[in-house]
Structure formats: structure tokens, C-alpha cells
């Protein structure tokens, strides 16, 4: 079984088993502010137990491709959304659960301005910008107690895009 994962363009359909895609493709749900703003209303499921939803900022180092994926993680007590604060694509890696560990990873490239919201318990790679400044707003659980399960692969996957 190849440990090479090809990056594909992110689509809401392909990502649906793992979470929500946030973007302004298509018409807005509401026009507000005297017709000067489109509201894309309630587009992601925030799901938190034993705590509250909070907004944090992440400033992450950009990575180069191909990427060695050594670890995936999940948050059993809450969803986690990454909303870019720059118009740069970033890498999103997710996997189904396979008996308590990540199954086959899937790698996606966002389009500039797209964000993602991992559903509670979705295996994912850590935030992986591909361009500076790597600045994101993050909406996730603020609470006490552990909310992070990591899985370190014995053999890393290689995340690549041949473009
Ligand atoms: N641990 C943390 O706050 N960040 C990770 O959850 C991540 O997905 O980047
Ligand atoms: Ni996370």
C-alpha cells in the first residue's frame, strides 16, 4: 500500500465526511447592510462539550511540499475551524477513523479564502500553511481537560502535488 498521498482540490462534497468547507462560492444566503454585504449564514457546525467555543489566532510556519506526514490528531470534545486571514491556499489532511487510529489519509488544497471546520473527532494533520504569514482565526473548544489525541505513524506518509 503506497504511503504517497496526492493532493486534490478541496470540495465540500469530498470533505463532507470530515467537516465543513467555508467559502463564498455561490450566492449569499442573505443580503444585508443596505445591500452592500452578502451573508453566508451558519455555514459550519460548531460542536463543543464541557466547555465553550472560543476564537484564537494561530500564526504557523509555512511548510514546503512534498510534506512528510508523521502524525495526525483529533479532538474528541469539539470541532475545530481554521479560517485564513490571508488570501493564501493551505494544506488540509484528514483521515477516517480505523479502529481508533487514522485510516487512509486524504490531502486537499484549499483555494484562497476558503476555510475548513473539522467535525468533532475528525483525524487531521496540524495546521499546515504553504505561504507566509500563516495567520488563521481558529474556532474551537476552550475548556479544561484533555481534548487532543495524537497518532504517530511508524512510517510517515508523503503528501505531494505533482503540479
Ligand atoms: N493543538 C492545536 O491547538 N492545534 C491543532 O489542534 C491543529 O489542528 O493545528
Ligand atoms: Ni487540531
ipTM of the complex: 0.91
- pLDDT tens by residue, the chain, 163 residues: 679 999 999 999 999 999 999 999 999 999 999 999 999 999 999 999 999 999 999 999 999 999 999 999 999 999 999 999 999 999 999 999 999 999 999 999 999 999 999 999 999 999 999 999 999 999 999 999 999 999 999 999 999 997 5
Q: What is the structure's pLDDT at 134?
A: 98
Expressed in angstroms and rounded, the spacing between residue 26 Cα and the centre of ligand 1 is 30
- Nearest Cα residue to 18 out of 125, 151, 121, 89: 121
Q: How many angstroms separate the CA atoms of 112 and 49, rounded?
A: 31
Number of continuous H segments (helices) and E segments (strands) in the chain:
1, 16
Q: What's the whole-model pTM score?
A: 0.96
Q: What is the structure's pLDDT at 54?
A: 98
Quick one: which atom of ligand 1 is closest to the CA of 118?
A: 8
Domain 3-160 fold = Jelly Rolls (2.60.120)
Atom 2, ligand 1: residue with shortest CA distance: 126
Q: How many angstroms separate the CA atoms of 103 and 31, rounded?
A: 41
Expressed in angstroms and rounded, the spacing between residue 34 Cα and the centre of ligand 2 is 38
Q: How many angstroms separate the CA atoms of 130 and 110, rounded?
A: 10
Q: How many angstroms separate the CA atoms of 91 and 159, rounded?
A: 9
How would you classify residue 19: left for phi > 0, otherwise alpha for psi between -120 and 50, otherwise beta? left
Amino acid at each position: 500500500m503506497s504511503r504517497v498521498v496526492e493532493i486534490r482540490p478541496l470540495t465540500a462534497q469530498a470533505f463532507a465526511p470530515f467537516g465543513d468547507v467555508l467559502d463564498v462560492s455561490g450566492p449569499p444566503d442573505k443580503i444585508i447592510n443596505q445591500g452592500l454585504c452578502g451573508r453566508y449564514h451558519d455555514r459550519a457546525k460548531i460542536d463543543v462539550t464541557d466547555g465553550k467555543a472560543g476564537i484564537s489566532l494561530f500564526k504557523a510556519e509555512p511548510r514546503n511540499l512534498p510534506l512528510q506526514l508523521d502524525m495526525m490528531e483529533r479532538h474528541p470534545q469539539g470541532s475545530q475551524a481554521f479560517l485564513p486571514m490571508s488570501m493564501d491556499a493551505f494544506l488540509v489532511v484528514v483521515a477516517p477513523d480505523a479502529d481508533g487510529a487514522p485510516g487512509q489519509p486524504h490531502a486537499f488544497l484549499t483555494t484562497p479564502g476558503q476555510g475548513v471546520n473539522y467535525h468533532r473527532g475528525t483525524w487531521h494533520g496540524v495546521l499546515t500553511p504553504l505561504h507566509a504569514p500563516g495567520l488563521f482565526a481558529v474556532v474551537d473548544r476552550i475548556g479544561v481537560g484533555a481534548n487532543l489525541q495524537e497518532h504517530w505513524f511508524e512510517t510517515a506518509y508523503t503528501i505531494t502535488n505533482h503540479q
